[in-house]
Amino acid sequence: MSIYYTKEHEWLRIEGDEVVVGITQHAADELGELVFVEGKDAGTEVAQGDSVAVVESVKAASDIYAPVSGTVVSFNDALSEDPSLINREPEAAGWIVRMTMADRAQLDDLLDAAAYAALLA
């Protein structure tokens, strides 16, 4: 299982033919307590860098961007009931969207865990 990161604090995990996208622990901590999450509908095609979701916290609202181009397969419906799941488990049960990936070469634009840790340092 490969995990990649963006400089905007999203993560991407490859699972078979799909990728799972969420925000990092750092981003969740910076946003504070999340109170609302809304993702793009299944079937929505997005380009790398397009918004795939919006999260709102007690501090601010933020777009979540697609780390790669592709098509949204599903939104994590558990977040509709419990947005703070992202705060508790941002890189596990708090994932935001599943997507197909249009171009694997775009993974070369992303950071590995060591490069992401260096970005935060």
- Residue range(s) defining the domain that contains residue 77: 3-116
pLDDT in tens, 26-81: 999 999 999 999 999 999 999 999 999 999 999 889 999 999 999 999 999 999 99
CATH number of the domain enclosing 40:
2.40.50.100
Of 86, 81, 41, 36, nearest in space to 57 by CA: 36
What span, in angstroms and rounded, lies between the C-alpha atoms of 8 and 66?
10
What span, in angstroms and rounded, lies between the C-alpha atoms of 13 and 17?
11
Q: What is the pLDDT of residue 2?
A: 86
For residue 121, tell me if it sits in a domain. Answer: no
pLDDT in tens, 72-97: 999 999 999 999 999 999 999 999 99
Number of domains present in the structure of the chain: 1
Q: What is the pLDDT of residue 59?
A: 86
Residue 33's identity, in one-letter code, is E
Q: What is the pLDDT of residue 1?
A: 59
CA-CA-CA-CA dihedral for 18, 8, 36, 3, to nearest 10 = 30
